[in-house]
Amino acid sequence: METNHFKEQKLSYIHNNPVEAGIVYEAEHYVYSSALNYSGGMGLVEVIYL
């Protein structure tokens, strides 16, 4: 069974990949990420929150 900590850890990893790659300075600035949705904004696609 997955814990909330495990899910949050994996989501953070996914959101921060473009930052680590040097594509953007903040995860929310990557157009193809749901990071903007999780920070209260509205991204390109509808997101079902974990």
pLDDT in tens, the chain (50 residues): 678 899 899 999 999 999 999 999 999 999 999 999 999 999 888 888 87
**pLDDT score at 12:** 94
Three-state SS across 1-15? CCCHHHHHHHHHHHH
Tokens of 3: 């814990």
For residues 12-29, b (16+ Cβ closer than 10 Å) or e, as one string?
Answer: eeebeebbeeeeeeebbe
Distance of CA 27 to the CA centre of its chain: 7
**Backbone φ/ψ region at 40: left (φ over 0), alpha (ψ -120 to 50), beta:** left
